[in-house]
A and B are shown apart, each in its own frame.
Chain A
Amino acid sequence: MKRRAFLAGMSSLALATFARRLVADPAPPPPKRLVLVMHSNGTQQSNFWPRAEMTSPILDPLLSDARVRARTTIVKGVYVPWDSGGTDGNEHDMGFARMFTGYRLRNVSGHPWGGGPSVDQIVAKEWRERTLNLACLTSRTEPHPKPGFLHRRSFSYVAAGVLRVPIEDPFVAYQRLFAPPEERDGVTRQRLLLRKSALDPMKSELARLRDAVSREERDKLDRHLESVREIERDLLRSISGEALGCGTRPPPPPEYTTRAPRLLVDDESAIPAIVQSMVDLIAAALTCGAPRIATLQLGYGGAKWSYDWEGIGYDCHGYLAHLDSTDGASSPDVIAKLVRVHRWNASMIARLAKKLADTPEGDRSVLDRTLIVWASDMGRGDHSLENVPVVLVGGAGMPSGGKLVDVGRQPFQRVGCTALRAMGLDVGGFGDLPDCGPLQGL
């Protein structure tokens, strides 16, 4: 980012000289990528964990592809300690807002929020990059979060109690990532320059104000200042005409916000198409390295999708997941339907992994330089917090896969630590954990 802003400010002659010098330098190692994925309501335990021959009714979409299987590690034994943090949150929140932040829930007017930045934002800060945060939230049963449940819109946090609000419309994300500047902003170069002039005075004023307030307030103003700088970097990039992406654009998704907004609110019929678009956008973005960090969220925390496309047709949270109260002895009908639900979720991760495996980078594939961390908020749909399904896909910072690893009983923070370590961050602690060691036994 810093370099881009610098380049934009240089004359074309200087730029050419600089570019030549760049070419002469030895190529830096290809960058790593990180994707965090979360779905709700745990899994159906007896059909999730692979058998000796690495097959699993739920995970087969991932495991049936030899390249992906070789890069997949399934982690058994992760648990989330029961702790409402004095809030009105239930087990969904305990996993959802904590899995990737690592902190105790933060009590905000009695409601449970994440207690610190999530892994994606921590890595983004370190790499000085922006993240691509996507979530498909449309829901017939719960078009809007219940009062006091706004925190369930995102598992990604910028800071304690501050959500990184995900993009819900794939077309909006597409525009932001891949449209050329003039198309993206719909404005002229002159307007971009004026926009920058209008931003100039506020930076020093924000900085002046931040020195006058308390620490917490300072964080707020710092975030504003950082946002303005981010916008400025974008502007400079647009002004210099630097293209986003790397030339290969995925096909644009439909424009839901303007043409069919209900599909983003309370009509579930397009969920498979929306999630597929999101997966494709993430794959394309990671390939280009713009950005290299993404999150994908399937529904609100405690999602209540009906999975019509899997032939179910009613709230699979209250009327299905909740009824799964043992690891394999629930009613056969409940088990069969839950397998369909979670197998479909797995098929979306498989789609992402395969796309990345199909994309060569040097003598390897993008998947080899990526880590996908896929987890849920709990272990089993009846709110059990043991044996949370955790799947690691990709070769970035990971030992070889193709296996199920039973790690014993380890706290969920080790998942975040594993991701941070794999991305090359040498962090002392993560969330409430003072020693950020990765999952032991991987």
Chain B
Amino acid sequence: VRLVAAIACLAGCTGDMARPEGASAIGQPTATRRVRRLSAREYANTMRDLTGTSVDVGVFTEDTVVTGYDNGTESLGVGIEQAAAYTRLAEDAAAKVVADAPHFLGCDLGREGAEACRERALGTFLRRAYRRPARDDEKARLRGAFADARNITGDDTLALRTMVEAILQSPAFLYRTELGGAYDGNRVVLDDWERASALAYFLTGTMPDDALLDAAARGDLATVDGMRREARRLLATPAARIQVRHFLEQWLALDRLAFVTKDAKAFPELDDTLRAAMREDAERFLDEALRERGGSLAQVFGSTAAFVDEKLARVYGVPYAGTGAQRVELDPSLRRGILTRAAYLAVHSGPEETGPVGRGLFLRSAILCAPTPPPPIGIDRNVPKAPTRTTRERFASHSSNAMCQGCHRAIDGVGFSFEAFDALGRHRTVENGVAIDSSGFLLDAGPSDGPFNGVVELESRLLGSPRVASCFVRQAFRFAMGSSEAPEDVTTLDVLSKGFDANSSIVDLFVEIAASRAFVERWTR
């Protein structure tokens, strides 16, 4: 089926097939018609915006991250525990909504009566909850739940609450659809409401705001220009700033900081306060990097700003005065860019030592999109501790062993350049009495390949590499689609990558992704 569809698309791509209005110029569809369960974070944001409740997403234990991003649709299902959690959370939220019916439902239960409030809830509130106007049969079933509850209790408030609980557990609330309407045998294009949801969850991580729903109702989203216009509007909101930052944090795995533990003897400094300071530093660093023209890789890999409290100042080796987090500029010859920030360095190192292999593997996979195959079977991967040698010297056997050389030349070439930073992110010049060697060698970065020294130089080389720019585009695309790219996505990715470089605006990239055909078209299967 996929092959037939691909052939059909070839015809489509040459312009032989009429495209419906709204299909944009870039690329072609790759994802199939699907439903996407709200991720834990999207659910929490949506519950906050719709019902004013705050949700602890720790209850969503089954969610797994497979694309590198928490919105990966493949792994988001609903098992028993999850369904039970939805029930409990819906009950809490419904109680709150009905208790403040004038605010949430636009209705005064005492004055207007239960039926009036029920019908009001089935209007605006339901459109916001389902992110589209509800069908008549859906409303009829909700009225049924209301009637059931009133029969059981004889209580109007409880009846209304039960109906709101039903809304908050409905698949129309928990999933967003990408089903669309057919325009040829093989493809569908998302309808206006689905486009509104796709835009909102991609760019703001939450439900569409009323303006976006109104735009969908007017048919504004049916055109590429309309999609661009709404994308730009959303990207200027505070929710979008958090969302873009959230994407960058996941891209660089900074969100794992909460789980980082270190050997207590080697790193007694690391406690929850320092972890929080590292997190705040990284967040504000990224916020600042994103502020100007929607941010750029040049900012992300080049800024010298840091936001330190007393403990973090000691990690960075800078003077500190005052209270709370202070903005400081770090020595640009030692630290510039996110890769030299404590959060990044602490996440990307072992519990006891720096872990050059892990640092190299991650960077190559996330930033160069050049993942490394696993080591061959039967290899002794223990690198015994040695009190008089540097970590680099201990791992040096990689480059002398012919079997390891192939991959480790590339992995360690990057990983060793981080050796001037310990597992907590402190700068160091000696280890076990031996001077640190942070020379490195970059591979698979095109014109930037070759020897270099230290992370600061590594970052400027990354900025000069088209591979890094196109890898970033690919990462943003995965985040937008909630799935890994397919081979057919090469067209879309090529077009998006064209002209995207270290100085290009990240926010503009998000707009162009939202305007692509891949974003709004789906295969039927």
Contacts and interface: CB of A to CB of B under 8 A. Distances in A.
Interface in A162-208: 162-165, 190-191, 193-195, 197-202, 204-206
A374 to B, nearest CB: 25
A161 interface: yes
A438 to B, nearest CB: 29
B188 to A, nearest CB: 11
Given A90-B374, A198-B145, A109 B67 contact: yes
B446 interface: no
A266 B260 CA distance: 12
A165 B79 contact: yes
Interface in A123-167: 130, 141, 143-144, 147, 150-151, 158, 161-165
Given A108-B74, A209-B177, A200 B84 contact: no
Contacts of A231: 80, 83-84, 87
Contact of B77 (A205, A213, A224): A224
B91 A195 contact: yes
Contacts of A163: 62, 64
Contact of A202 (B161, B166, B382): B166
A88 B224 CA distance: 40
A109 B484 contact: yes
Interface stretch (B114-122, B148-156, B433-441): B148-156
B398 interface: no
B253 A147 contact: yes
Nearest to A205: B171
Nearest to A199: B169
A18 interface: no
B145 A214 contact: no
Contacts of B171: 202, 205-206, 209, 221, 224
Interface residues of A, number: 56
B157 to A, nearest CB: 11
A409 interface: no
Nearest to B351: A141
Contacts of A201: 138, 141-142, 144-145, 166, 170
Contacts of A150: 64-65
Given A111-B66, A205-B171, A200 B77 contact: no
A163 B65 CA distance: 13
Interface in A16-73: none
Interface in B122-168: 138, 141-142, 144-145, 148-149, 152-153, 158, 161-163, 165-166
Contacts of B253: 147
A224 B83 contact: yes
Contact of B162 (A82, A111, A194, A383): A194
A84 interface: yes
Most B CB contacts (10 A, CB to CB) among A195, A201, A228, A318 go to: A201
Contacts of B380: 322
A223 interface: yes
B257 to A, nearest CB: 12
B498 to A, nearest CB: 26
B148 A197 contact: yes
B175 interface: yes
A110 interface: yes
A197 B152 contact: yes
A98 B68 CA distance: 24
Contacts of A162: 75, 77, 79
B34 interface: yes
B249 to A, nearest CB: 13
A366 B65 CA distance: 41
A108 B65 CA distance: 10
A69 B79 CA distance: 39
Nearest to A220: B77
B525 A214 contact: yes
A318 B382 contact: yes
A89 interface: yes
Contact of B170 (A109, A205, A213): A205
A202 B169 CA distance: 7
B144 A84 contact: no
Interface in B63-111: 64-68, 72, 74-75, 77-84, 87, 90-91
B175 A209 contact: yes
Interface residues of B, number: 62
A136 to B, nearest CB: 15
Contacts of B158: 194
Given A165-B61, A266-B261, A227 B144 contact: no
A223 B37 CA distance: 13
B170 A212 contact: no
A195 B87 contact: yes
B98 to A, nearest CB: 12
B377 A383 contact: yes
A108 B75 contact: yes
A199 B90 CA distance: 11
B131 to A, nearest CB: 14
Contacts of A147: 253, 256
B248 interface: no
Interface in A201-253: 201-202, 204-206, 209, 212-215, 217, 220-221, 223-224, 227-228, 230-231
B189 to A, nearest CB: 15
A138 B312 CA distance: 29
B79 A227 contact: yes
Most B CB contacts (10 A, CB to CB) among A109, A147, A161 go to: A109
B353 to A, nearest CB: 13
B33 interface: yes
A297 to B, nearest CB: 15
Given A109-B66, A205-B171, A227-B80, A212 B91 contact: no
Most A CB contacts (10 A, CB to CB) among B77, B162, B179 go to: B77
A263 B275 CA distance: 21
A90 B64 CA distance: 20
A309 B153 CA distance: 55
B172 interface: yes
Contacts of A90: 374
Contacts of B67: 109
B367 to A, nearest CB: 15
Contacts of A227: 78-80, 82-83
Nearest to B175: A209
A165 B78 CA distance: 12
Given A205-B170, A212-B179, A227-B79, A200 B149 contact: no
A88 B372 CA distance: 9
Contact of B152 (A193, A213, A228): A193
B33 A213 contact: yes
A386 B454 CA distance: 45
B371 interface: yes
A120 interface: no
Contacts of B80: 130, 227, 230-231
A84 B145 CA distance: 50
24 contacts: A82-B377, A108-B74, A109-B72, A143-B259, A150-B64, A161-B75, A165-B62, A165-B79, A194-B152, A194-B161, A198-B90, A198-B163, A198-B165, A198-B169, A200-B145, A201-B170, A204-B141, A223-B77, A223-B79, A224-B77, A224-B83, A227-B79, A231-B80, A383-B378
Interface of B: 32-35, 37, 61-62, 64-68, 72, 74-75, 77-84, 87, 90-91, 138, 141-142, 144-145, 148-149, 152-153, 158, 161-163, 165-166, 169-172, 175, 177, 179, 253, 256, 259, 261, 351, 371, 373-374, 377-378, 380, 382, 484, 525
9 shortest interchain CB distances as A-B pairs = A201-B141, A198-B165, A224-B78, A197-B148, A227-B83, A144-B259, A198-B166, A109-B66, A227-B80
Given A194-B161, A214-B34, A322-B380, 18 more contacts: A109-B484, A143-B261, A147-B256, A150-B64, A162-B77, A194-B152, A198-B145, A198-B149, A199-B166, A205-B138, A205-B171, A209-B171, A212-B179, A220-B37, A220-B77, A224-B83, A227-B80, A231-B87
